[in-house]
Amino acid sequence: MLVNVEEGLGRLRGNAMIYKRMLSMFIDSKEAAQFDDAIATGDIETATRASHSMKGIAGNLSLDDLYAVSDKLTEELRKNIKDDTTIAEFHDVIDQTMVAVKDVIETL
C-alpha cells in the first residue's frame, strides 16, 4: 500500500491537519536527492543514511511500500551491496508515493 491513511491518522489520533502537514513536508523532503548525490559519487555511507532517513519518514507516515523498499535498500547498503535493481525500485516507489501523497493531501 502506498499510503495507509487510516494507520497514519491513527498514529496522530485522527488529526488530519497534522497528517496533511507532515505529508506536505514529505513532498518537500531532500532525502531522495541526498541519496542520488551520494550514489553518484560512490558515498555509500551517506547513501545509507539517506535511505535510512527515508525509511523512518515512510514508517512515521505509514507509506508502507516506501518503508519496505527503503528498509531493503538500507540493509543492502549496510552490507556494502549497491544493487541497481533495488535502487531503481526505490526510485519507482518514491515516484509512485509522491503522486499518491499529493492525492491524499487533496482529499484530507
All 3 cell numbers of residue 34? 541526498
pLDDT value of position 22 = 98
pLDDT value of position 16 = 97
Tell me which residue range forms the domain holding 80. Answer: 5-107
How many domains is the chain partitioned into structurally? 1
- pLDDT tens digits for range 31-82: 999 999 999 999 999 999 999 999 999 999 999 999 999 999 999 999 999 9
Check which CATH number belongs to the domain holding 46 and give it: 1.20.120
- pLDDT tens digits for range 12-28: 999 999 999 999 999 99
Nearest CA to 1 out of 64, 54, 56 is that of 64
pLDDT value of position 38 = 98
pLDDT value of position 7 = 98
DSSP 24: H
pLDDT value of position 43 = 97
For the entire predicted model, the pTM comes to 0.95
Question: At residue 82, what are phi and psi to the nearest 5 degrees?
Answer: -110, 90
